[in-house]
């Protein structure tokens, strides 16, 4: 059973590493509006988040069935990715307001009164910030599930 848990954790790490790497590449290039690569990032990110949820459900099911690892830290490392994803989503939601505040704009209607190039620049800045936040969360999840895999012995 330990091998299955480790394999699942490694799969979760791999999926999140792909989305984290792709997000870092897009963010570094500074062009998060490139449709094809940005779409691939968001799809891979959601797949990675879903895999982390699946791992958490599997771990919870094993615990409910009476199977426990020798190291109790395993549960922390296996379940913490859900909290990381939740917090990252909250930070992503506030990205637009942060950009507006930096530009001293009152609200989204104020953006609509700007010239078109400035509107596009602000939209790109919001997308870049959102992508940066979610990229970091994916990379943190990679670290956490690799730690989970290393503490999964004894199931």
pTM, whole model, 2 decimals?
0.88
- What is the sign of the dihedral through the CA atoms of 93, 146, 7 and 22? positive
Question: Which pair of structure tokens corresponds to residue 149?
Answer: 């895999």
pLDDT, one tens digit for every residue, the chain (155 residues): 778 899 999 999 999 999 999 999 999 988 766 778 889 999 999 999 999 999 999 999 999 998 888 888 999 999 999 999 999 999 998 988 888 888 888 777 787 788 888 888 888 888 899 999 999 999 999 999 999 999 988 66
User: Dihedral through CA 125, CA 27, CA 8, CA 55, nearest 10?
Assistant: -10
Question: Do residues 48 and 141 make contact, with C-beta atoms less than 8 angstroms apart?
Answer: yes
């Amino acid at each position: 059973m330990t091998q299955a848990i480790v394999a699942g954790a490694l799969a979760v790490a791999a999926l999140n590493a792909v989305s984290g790497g792709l997000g870092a590449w897009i963010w570094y290039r500074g062009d998060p509006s490139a449709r094809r690569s940005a779409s691939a990032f968001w799809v891979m990110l959601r797949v990675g988040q879903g895999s982390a949820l699946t791992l958490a459900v599997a771990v919870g099911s094993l615990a409910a069935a009476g199977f426990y690892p020798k190291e109790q830290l395993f549960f922390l490392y296996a379940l913490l990715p859900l909290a990381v994803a939740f917090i990252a989503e909250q930070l992503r939601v506030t990205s637009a307001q942060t950009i507006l505040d930096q530009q001293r704009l009152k609200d989204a209607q104020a953006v609509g009164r700007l010239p078109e190039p400035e509107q596009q620049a602000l939209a790109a800045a919001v997308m870049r910030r959102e992508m940066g936040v979610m990229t970091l969360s994916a990379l943190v999840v990679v670290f956490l599930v690799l730690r989970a895999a290393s503490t999964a012995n004894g199931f």
